[in-house]
Chain A
């Protein structure tokens, strides 16, 4: 199934994707999941998203801040740390190389 392969691929890339989103803009759990869905990556359940965010936090790549929201109880926002930015830059570089290799292997390159 199409969804199945996407889900598997995203499983390995989830943390780096979340890191990327957070570098762009700080956000909370549900909103991050929505942004991923809008980007066409399918829906990520809370049971997967929150542990991923916690892993990033334990590793020191993001930090969490509780903020009072206008509608209802305080929300937990995540923002990227300095170390998180540097790790993300590294991962971007690695991804560029990696995806290029995959493209070649899958016959997606324009020439050669």
Chain B
């Protein structure tokens, strides 16, 4: 299938960039180690870091493929296969990271709601991947994209999640679910968190779908027959 071929090629290309992958893996770990002594903080920043790493990964993957995508379209790939294939590849890598960090969190910290921690990280991925793609499609350049992500995500870290403005930041869901998963508050917090993730994902997906449809259009032409006898 076209989508699988794109996913395979994307994965191969990403796996070759070993230093980048190493640094992206270390990113959440660095945050985690900084806050290790406080369980709540440690796992929250670990999850946020995962989201950040996923966003960076999808940003660079998107920007690097901007010109190639046009060519892939002309070669016969559907816009959907290009987009979904790329998302599949990045998400798979993100999931692999997530499993690693989940194990770390369970082993190194005192965790009651394992499922909750998993949900936190899942929210981070579900938002982080499309966030990186969106920034890549809108800004089209690596430096500008990276700066935009830094602004969004650093602000995320520093804003008190209780403040209303915090709800406008993309990864708020991680903190929302954390209230249920780590502070063991009641279910409404879980629902709020998941709803935020869902809404953010939906919004970003809309933007991505819209941009991709426009960008990857093959403009209308009248078809001619391929045989060369009249």
| Chains A and B touch (C-beta atoms under 8 A apart) | no
